Amino acid sequence: MTASVLLAGCDTDQVSLATNAKANQPVPPKLLAAMVEKNMDLQSPILVRLFKQEAELEVWKQTRNGQFALLKTYPICRWSGDLGPKVREGDRQAPEGFYSINPGQMNPQSAYYLSFNTGYPNAFDKALGRTGSQLMVHGDCSSRGCYAMTDEQIAEIYSLGRESFFGGQKAFQLQAYPFKMTPVNMARHRNNPNMPFWKMIKEGYDHFEVTRQEPKVDFCERKYVFDAAKPPDAKRDPVFDASAKCPAYVIPDDIVAAVREKQQQDEAAYAKLVAKGTPVARMNTGIDGGMNKIFAAKIPEGSTGLSEGAEGTTLQMLAMAKAPGTIPGHVNPPKPNLDSVASAPAPQEEPVVAVSAPAANTRVANAAPAEKSGFFSNLGRKMGMGSAETTATTPPPQATASVAPATTSTTPATAASRLKAAVTRFVPGHDKSRDAAKDAPKSAVAAKPVEPTKPDTRLAATRPALKPSVSDGAGEATQIMGAAPVVSSNSFESRFGAVK
């Protein structure tokens, strides 16, 4: 309700989206320079594409020739669920499909620095009876059905959307995909039960690829329709209803021809890949979502989950790269899938962690928020009521780190070692642990106990109001390697009390 009041009347250039400083940060100078280089205006329309498998968010912007060009690609810090569309409330799925973002969906008062609502469910989702609410793109790098960026990243994306509204764009399009809709990816996932849905939204992907124009999206007969226009003999535009029969419509001939040519090329490449035995993507049961490699490389026990990076790029190579924004202490990587890893013929990448940390400090994305002992909370639990679906914020209590005992050597003792042991036993003040460390193999890494840190009891409102832009070099010294997670004192419900 607060967000609705603040954003009322935001359809004009004269009205600011919000009065707070976070929502009105200027577009960074590096992005402005990129716009000049690519023949773009600051307030020209934008379009956003999301890819789960690649864990990337693309911002496209209209150039002065009327077509869209890629302005910047942002690595996604965290997304949850599996590849595939969101179906019901509580399934932890991040949505897939085409959505429209208007000024009223921009939330400057978000508990996650800044955010905008994806608009799920759209008319297609509702026609299929799909449920869910408050599915966002936001900061804080924590996701429970959302697409989470760093605070610095969402500040840039938010500023680009704000300027496009000031320029007259009524709403920008959000396209969310399981992966880049290439023949290779379609072949790898050919046995996935979501393939009919993916082929349907690939139609819109292809329309954008060949025209570089935002495709017009309609729904009828519980399916997507792209770039529909009225027939030549019609007197008015067709009226679409997602649950009703499709009206008479046509698609412009130039778009039809270009899309058909692209699809023929894609289908030929797909057939060759299947014929030569391209392996089907391994099921990833037990993993919740994904994380771009550049973030996973900087988190103890980091894992990319369902995400995949560029070929040849490993976590080791990215360990020294600059993080695109502040990685909060509470961020958790996707859960490792031990069953599928054990059954795999060979690992694609050896997981290497820059800084070791005990497993007790690792938090999982589906951890339930801390229970409250209030009357309404107890009553709700007795009635089987759960918390609202948004992004999980309250971690489980942090366990005290323990150090596993060192593995004993099976090498037979020599006379020298027995003599040394005797000396150690009878010489006062002799440091046996130092000798043990000296005798240990050089390749072994001694486990270092991690002292439990005191939880940070500050509320989200006490966080810094502004953070440097990603384009201006933020993140160089924002990651404390091996730091224990900061436990938020406020609950999941309180952070999503009125607005998110």
| Residues carrying an active site annotation | 138, 146
Strand order through the sheet with 46-51: 68-75, 56-62, 46-51, 172-177, 97-101
Q: Which of 249, 261, 253, 350 is nearest to 297 (CA)?
A: 350
Could you give the CA distance from residue 91 to residue 70 in angstroms, rounded to a whole number? 32
Structure-token pair, residue 407? 């593995």
- CB contact at 8 A, 156 and 31: yes
Contact 248, 271 (CB under 8 A): no
Angle (nearest 5°) at CA 326 between 118 and 157: 35
Residue 215 CA: distances (Å) to CA of 39, 111, 376: 21, 33, 47
Strand 136-138 with 68-75, pairing: unpaired
In sequence order, the 6+-apart residues with CB closer than 8 A to the CB of 345 are none
- Residue 40, both tokens: 């773009």
Nearest to 152 by CA among 138, 135, 165: 138
